[in-house]
Amino acid sequence: MDRLDALQLFTRIVEVQSFSRAADMLDVPRATATYAIKELEARLGTRLLERTTRQVRPTLDGQAFYERCVQVLSELDDAEASLRHVASNPRGVLRVDMHGTHATRIVLTRIDEFRSRYPNVDLVVSSGDRLVDLVREGVDCVIRAGNPRDSSLVARRLASMPQVVCASPDYLARHGTPRHPEELGGHQAVRFFTSGGSADYPFELSVDGALRTYAVGGWMAVNDAENNVVCALRGCGLIQVPRFHVEDELRDGRLVEVLARWTSPAMVVSALYPYRRQLSPRVRVFVDWLCELYEQKFGAR
């Protein structure tokens, strides 16, 4: 393993706190990774990593060396990206995480187009609604709805998705149709919370020119967008979701829009990636392609 590969291996080990996970991410044998770090430590004349049975942590010297390595590797990415033939023909593995709905209904339905454009980029896609620690888990880019809260990440807006409040005909037959947002308090909702269980999102509607929130109770709570819609279809309550997610159900009458006179705020969706990978050619071309994809579906950002 050459010196540059050893630096990349070392930074990944620090980020994921594991020799085996870092070796898997870089597609090298565990034994090779162990030998490369021992060789690096011998060359530098200092111990870089503290190994325990549960995790790997940098020593004080290792932390200082890690921070310099991040700068060096970022500058190398910058140098490579400045070369036109590299920027236009990136290669390597790109790890992406996105909500299941965005994966199955937007991105993966056209992923072959990205592969045709960039045949040397291999994709590893994970999906779900849980929060992801990009650095620790070695993820290069995530697609997330809502306003980004982590200021340490670069956020690039992909779209503003119109939302709709709706319910099944069965639910409306049993509970009535709300005629004004103030009537939401007397209804039930399929409540939505984060994977950590730390939030239960209220409904939001523009009333008299001001955005107002309405807490709606309910006996069903989920943390997955697909399950949210499934529960609404089964009459469990009202939901407020991006219109694209339920356009087929609205068209065939399995769900019915309510409170259409009051505008639901658009839901922002963004691509997020760590600052140090800002200039990575793989990330850059993928996010550029995502921007095209989302603009075609939802219009200008």
Average pLDDT over residues 160-186: 96
Instruction: Using the predicted structure, report yes or no on whether residue 287 has a pLDDT greater than 90.
Output: yes
80: pLDDT confidence band, cut at 50, 70 and 90?
low
- CATH code of the domain made up of 163-265: 3.40.190.10
More confident residue, 296 or 138: 296
Range with the largest mean pLDDT of 25-34, 71-80, 143-152, 175-184? 175-184
* pLDDT at 197 exceeding the cut of 90: no
Distant-in-sequence, close-in-space partners of 138: CB < 8 Å, separation ≥ 6: 12, 15, 16, 21, 22, 25, 95
Per the structure block, which two tokens stand in for 201?
């999102």
* pLDDT averaged over every residue in the chain: 87
How would you classify residue 275: left for phi > 0, otherwise alpha for psi between -120 and 50, otherwise beta?
alpha
Q: What percent of the chain has pLDDT over 90?
A: 55
The Cα 67–Cα 69 span in angstroms is 5
For 151-170, how does the pLDDT look when each residue is reduced to its tens digit (9 = 90+)? Answer: 678 889 999 999 999 999 99
Which amino acid belongs to residue 77?
A: D
For residue 195, pLDDT over 90 is answered with no
Mean local confidence (pLDDT), 178-203: 85
- Using only C-alpha atoms, the chain has a radius of gyration, in whole angstroms, of 23
pLDDT score, position 111: 96
Report whether 258 contacts 172 (CB < 8 A).
yes
User: 226-261, pLDDT tens digit by residue?
Assistant: 899 999 999 999 999 999 999 999 999 999 999 999
Q: Where do you find CATH 1.10.10.10 in the chain?
A: 3-81
| 3-81: CATH class | mainly alpha
Does residue 136 register a pLDDT over 70?
no
Mean pLDDT of the region 121-125: 89
SS (H, E, C) 205-271: EEECCEEEEECCCCCEEECCHHHHHHHHHCCCCEEEEEHHHHHHHHHHCCCEEECCCCCCCCEEEEE
Taking the whole predicted model, whether its pTM rises above 0.75 is answered as no
Question: Once rounded to an integer, what is the mean pLDDT over residues 43-71?
Answer: 88
Q: Does domain 84-161+268-298 have CATH number 3.40.50.2300?
A: no
Residue 2 reports pLDDT greater than 90 = no
Assess whether pLDDT exceeds 60 at residue 64: yes
Q: Where in the chain is the domain with CATH 3.40.190.10?
A: 84-161+268-298, 163-265
Q: What is the band of 128 on the pLDDT scale with cuts at 50, 70, 90? A: low
Evaluated on CA atoms 271, 274, 276, 280, the torsion sign reads: negative
Cα atoms in the 13 Å half-sphere on the side-chain side of 107:
24
pLDDT at 276 over 70: no
